[in-house]
Structures are given as structure tokens and as C-alpha cells.
Structure 1
Amino acid sequence: MGVPSFYRWLVEKYPAIVSPAHEHSSNGGVIYHNLYLDMNGIIHPCFHPEDQICPPTTLEEVFHSMFEYMDRLFRIVRPTNLLYLAVGQWRRSSRQDEPAAIQALQISPRPPKTPSVQEMDENLLRDRFRAEGKEVFPRDASSSEVSDPNVITPGTEFMEKLSDALKYYIRSRLSTDPLWKDIKVILSDANVPGEGEHKIMSFIRAQRGREGYDPNTRHCLYGLDADLIMLALASHEIHFSILREVCVCVGILETSK
């Protein structure tokens, strides 16, 4: 969950913490070892983009858009050691002292979709035609694949297809892209409980506790929520950057400055 207006306030007060990032730039000579992608910040914009005249109509188009964007992020950061993909999952709370409103939100992250008047009229007509023995053509499957954003919820068929698509993407890039040579890739899909950013931070904390961990490891985390800034600071890593869109550009926020 984000912190409204926090990012804007922060960069207006401390503009020097943001530096532009481009695919063909060297990021000021900074070499990042690990890149973490909070996939929810990629899935939703690719599923229902707000700035496209012709939005995707099939899951194949959604996945293709995701792959292109992930490729772009990878080329910007160019990690040398690790790529971590984290797909968020809402979990059922087991703590009795947690506020009831938060528990309800975690159990049912999205309200049930209410059919529109047009959909209700169409359903009534379809039922009437079937009762009269008339042929009823199926709805256009290509348009229905991405018409309901509620499918972006753990346990749905879409999330299973997403997991398979990400596995295909990883295998494809590891076998064909020279930039992926010697890169370790970890996929934490929706079958693993927890929100994406918290799974990433748990992984980082676990690595810190391992023998031989290099404290000079440079981390770069992509995500759209402003609370990532606090999570990065709380990690106590001395080299931690956040990659996110700034208007039409992509910028790197250096949290360790």
C-alpha cells in the first residue's frame, strides 16, 4: 500500500537524490549487483494501460507487453548477479489483534464485480433467446480475456497462466540474451504468500544473515509504491536504489545518500 504524495514531497525537497536512467546510459558508472522487480507495478499497467489508444485484448498481448517492459528495466539496470521477480499475494491474517477492517481487506482484496445495466440486459436477452430455441453466439473471447481486472488475484486461472508465462520468459532470456549470462533468477509467484515488496525485503534480510555476504552489494528495486522508500531505508543496506517512472522518464532514487 502506497503513501500518497510522499514521493513528490521527497523529490521536491531533495531533488539531488533522483538521477535519470536510460537504456543506453551507464547510470553514472554505477554497477548494480541485484535487481528486484515488484511485479504488481508491471502487471496492472500492462493489463489495463491508461495511455494506449488500442489497449490489449488478449492475455498474449498482455504478457508480450510485460516482457518488453521487463526487458527495458533489465537493460537500464544491467544487474551482474541476481534478478528477483516477486508477484504479490494477499494473505489471510492469523493475528486476532489485527483490526477487523484490515483483515477484511486481506481476505477480500477486491469487491465483487457488479454487472452493468448493459450486461444485465444482454444476459436477459440471451436467456430469452435460449428459451425460444434460438441460436446464441458465445461472447467474444478475445475481448473478455482482459475485460475484468479482478482476475489479477491469487488462485485465479490468470495467475496460473502468468506464472507459466514468467517461467517461459526466464528460460527464453537465459538461453538467448547475452546480458543474462551468469545471472541467477528467482521467481516468487502468487503461490508464495506475501506482498511483492515484503517478499523482496525478506529475501534481502535473509541474505544479510548468510556467511560471506558482501555488505557492499548494490541493490536496485523497481516498484511504484512510495512505501518502498521506507522499506529500503529500513533494510540498512548502504547501497540501495529505487527505480520508478518519473512522468515520461525513468529515474533512479538513491535511498542510501
Structure 2
Amino acid sequence: MGVPGLFAFLKRRYSVIARLVTKQEDGSWDVAAPADALYVDMNHIIHSCTHANAGRDGTPYDEDVAFQRMDAYLTALLEVAGGLGAGPIAAEAPGPSPPASSSPQRPSPLRLLFVAIDGVAPIAKMNQQRTRRFLSAHVAEVTDRVEREVRAEMASQAGGGRVIPEMANSRFDPNIISPGTAFMGRVAERVRQILRTKVQTDPRFARLRVVVSDSYEPAEGEHKIMRFIRYIRTRPDYDPNTRHVIYGQDADLLLLSLLLHEPHVRIMREAQPEKQPNIAAAAAAAKKQLQQRTQPRGREPGSGSGARGGPHATGAVSAGGFGAAANSPGDTDSGSVCPTFEEVDISLLRECLRWEFAELCGTPDGRPLAAGYEAMEEDEEEGEVEEMAEDEREKKGEVEAADSEGEAEEEGVGTWAEEGMEVEVEG
């Protein structure tokens, strides 16, 4: 469950905590340091891969293509976290990723991969999810009704001379992305199959240990990740210098990672620069572009600019593009989309927060509270000195006032005696 605007706020306020991770010319990724353990929250990946093209270009939803995008996404995350190069990944035919024969065969430094799929959420989140899903179903029903009415009105205005083609039923129902559904069971099974094949066939990940937590285990993906990290910290063979990389789009991962108090934690997320589609949208655009290119010229509107590459253009999804079409040499209408990731250094964020609140909790120099206490003691001592000086000034003023009053009384008595006035004394 995300926190709207939190990541953008922290990124604006502490610009040094985030850096872009892009693919270099040699095929590797310029990560800050290769990770030892990668933790993946599948929530964003599932939504992004299933919503990529359903209902946008009339293409019916294809579950095999969605699973193939998940395969490409997981492969890319493994390569990015390990700082490895990548080879091409087929775009059209569903199936496991091909062996990385064109990629460097250097073994990945990753020792652990933990994949978490959202399970049953707490009751408060369940109520929120139920509200959103009922609203989504209602909006879809209203949209279908309005579409039918508009099509009927257009047909009546055409006078029956033209036939409006029926649109394919390509709308994807997001309510199936819920714990306990058959779709989530197929997702868990396919993810296990993808990772099993990758460990067995790709020599780079031969030593990788894989743990998959499916939707039958309660809690959201990010909370499963935190619980697993705390569990491995209790093991006697745990290395305190382990470099953890957590992938997820939810901003609450920043807060949860701060609570881990681990020295080497980075949050990796898919960057969304301006005018750049996300990974799944790039895959959908590549597929649409391929369909336009393979159609004869002049048959479909809008195919003229997209067919300039000719029918020989392929739709291979490169590891640098995650669905971007591999453009032919003569193509100029669109370039290959190379997505970027962002990584946030949690230790750097923690230090920025310490400096931000140093007035309250001290400076981040190993003495988190001593500096604050010393400042408070100095303020108290200065206040006590000022109070003592004020008291002395008040006492001195009272003495001077009393002396002046005594002198005035003596002067008054002498004057009265000289004038012959009688002074009565009791006693």
C-alpha cells in the first residue's frame, strides 16, 4: 500500500538519495554495487504486464503474452541487480527465456532471490480494496452501456448504409488480481516455472537460491519481504555486510526499509521520466507496431508511417528495451525504448533525515543524542547565569531605592522641625 507523493517529496528535498540506473554501451547496468540478495514485490509487475495492451488497441487480452512479459521483467531485474549484461528475449512466442548465449557468462553475484506476491491483506486494506474493485466494476459497466448507446446512435445516423465493425472484447478485469483466484494460482505456478528454468539453463544464475511466497501466504508483498529479511538476520550464518536490493513501486518501502536498520539497503523502482513509457506499455507499443508493419500498405489507416520498416522488421524484445521493437535500419518513426530504473540508498536517506532533525536528535556522528543534550545543558546554564544576574540587579536596585527613601525622609524631618511643626512619636 503506497503513500502518495512521498517518494517525489523525498526526491525533491534530498536529491542525492536517488540515482538513475541505465544500460551502458557494453550491455551492463551502471548500478552502484552488485547486490547479494534481491527481493521483488510482484504487485506492480503483475498489474503492468496484464494491463499493457488490453482494451487500448483492440487486441484481446492474451495471458501467455502477459506471462512472457513477467519472464522478461524478472530476467531484467536479475541482470540489473547483478550488474550483468543481457541478451535478446523473444517477444511473440510465449515460453521461457532463451539461454543467454550472447550475454557474458560471468556468474551473477546474487546469492538469493525472494519473490513476494500479495496475499490476504489486513481488514482495513481489504475494505479499501473491496471499495475500489466495486467502483472499477461499476465504471466498466457504465462504459459498456455508453459505448453501446453511442454505437447505436452512429448506426442510425449512418442510415444503415455503413456497418460499424464490432470491437473485440479486450477489456481486462483487474478484479482477478486478488488472492484466492485461479489467475493468481496460475501466476504463482508460472513464476516458479520461469525461475526454475532460469536457474537450470542460465549458468549465470546456477548458484542462485530462489524463494517464492505466493498469494496463499497472508500479508502484502512488501511486508513479506521485511519479515523475511528479519528472519535471515537471526540465522547464525548471516553476513551483516549483505547488500540488499528491494524492488517495488510502493513508497512505503522507504519507511519500512528505514526500520530495518541495515547498513546496505537500496530500493530499486522503475523510473518514469517524462515522455518515456513504462516497460509494459513499451511492450504493447512494440506489438502494435509489429502488427501494423506486417499488414499490406494502404489497407489499414495509420499503417503508412509504421510500415516504413517493411515486413522484415522484427519485434524482438531486447533486455534493454523490455518490449521495444527492434527497428530495422530504415526505420525513423520510433527508436528502441531503453527503460531506466531508479535506486534509492536507504543509508543515505537515513543520514539526510538525521541532519534534517539534528536540532532535535543530535548530529549523525555516532552520538545521536549527546549533542542535543549538551546544547540543552548549555542553554540551561546560560539561563541560570542570566537569572542570577537579573536577581542581583533587582536586589541592587531595591537597596538603592531604600537608601534614597531614607535620605528623603531625613531631609523631610529637618524641614518640618525648622518650620515649627510637631512630630508625634508613639510609645
Using the size of structure 2 for normalisation, the TM-score is: 0.49
Q: Confirm or deny: 8 A CA contact 1:34 1:218 kept in the other structure.
A: yes
- 1:218-237 aligned at under 5 Å gives the runs 218-237=243-262
Query: Is residue 110 of structure 2 the alignment partner of residue 110 of structure 1?
Result: no
Q: Structure 1: which amino acid aligns with 2:76?
A: R
Tell me the residue number matched to 1:174. Answer: 199
Query: Is residue 220 of structure 2 the alignment partner of residue 195 of structure 1?
Result: yes
Q: Confirm or deny: 8 A CA contact 2:54 2:172 kept in the other structure.
A: no
Tell me the residue number matched to 1:37. Answer: 40
Q: Structure 1: which amino acid aligns with 2:220?
A: E
Decide which of 75, 78, 81 is 1:77's aligned counterpart: 81
Of residues 204-213 and 227-236 in structure 1, the stretch that sits farther from structure 2 once superposed is 204-213
Tell me the residue number matched to 1:245. Answer: 270
Distance change (3 Å), C-alpha of 1:238 and 1:103: same
Q: Distance in 2 between matches of 1:8 and 1:89?
A: 27
Query: Is residue 121 of structure 2 the alignment partner of residue 91 of structure 1?
Result: yes
Give the Å deviation of 1:120: 10
Q: Distance in 1 between matches of 2:125 and 2:194?
A: 35
Of residues 75-84 and 199-208 in structure 1, the stretch that sits farther from structure 2 once superposed is 75-84
Q: Confirm or deny: 8 A CA contact 2:49 2:66 kept in the other structure.
A: yes
Q: Confirm or deny: 8 A CA contact 1:91 1:106 kept in the other structure.
A: no
Using the size of structure 1 for normalisation, the TM-score is: 0.80
Tell me the residue number matched to 2:279. Answer: none
Q: Structure 2: which amino acid aligns with 1:242?
A: I
Q: Confirm or deny: 8 A CA contact 1:48 1:56 kept in the other structure.
A: no
Distance change (3 Å), C-alpha of 1:164 and 1:51: closer
Distance change (3 Å), C-alpha of 1:52 and 1:172: farther
CA distances 1:175-221 after superposition (whole Å, capped 9, x unpaired): 11122120000000101111000000000011111213111111000
Distance change (3 Å), C-alpha of 1:10 and 1:52: farther
Q: Distance in 1 between matches of 2:268 and 2:198?
A: 21
Q: Structure 2: which amino acid aligns with 1:256?
A: S
Query: Is residue 67 of structure 2 the alignment partner of residue 63 of structure 1?
Result: yes
Give the Å deviation of 1:90: 2.7
Q: Distance in 2 between matches of 1:56 and 1:180?
A: 35
Tell me the residue number matched to 2:22. Answer: 22
Give the Å deviation of 1:106: 6.4
User: Structure 1: which 4+ aligned runs deviate by more than 4 Å?
Assistant: 50-56, 106-109, 119-122
Q: Distance in 1 between matches of 2:39 and 2:186?
A: 21
Q: Distance in 2 between matches of 1:52 and 1:69?
A: 22
Give the Å deviation of 1:21: 1.4
Tell me the residue number matched to 1:13. Answer: 13
CA distances 1:120-155 after superposition (whole Å, capped 9, x unpaired): 998xxxxxxxxxxxxxxxxxxx956x6211100011
Of residues 35-44 and 50-59 in structure 1, the stretch that sits farther from structure 2 once superposed is 50-59
Decide which of 151, 157, 174 is 1:149's aligned counterpart: 174
Give the Å deviation of 1:25: 2.4
Q: Structure 1: which amino acid aligns with 2:257?
A: A
Distance change (3 Å), C-alpha of 1:51 and 1:233: farther
Structure 1 gap ranges (5+): 94-100, 123-141
Equivalent pairs: percent with the same residue?
A: 35
Distance change (3 Å), C-alpha of 1:19 and 1:9: same
Give the Å deviation of 1:226: 0.7
Give the Å deviation of 1:3: 1.2
Q: Structure 2: which amino acid aligns with 1:245?
A: E
Q: Distance in 2 between matches of 1:195 and 1:40?
A: 9
Q: Distance in 1 between matches of 2:55 and 2:202?
A: 28
Structure number with larger C-alpha Rg: 2
Q: Distance in 2 between matches of 1:250 and 1:117?
A: 35
Tell me the residue number matched to 2:373. Answer: none
Pick 1 or 2: higher relative contact order, CA cutoff 8 A, min separation 6: 1
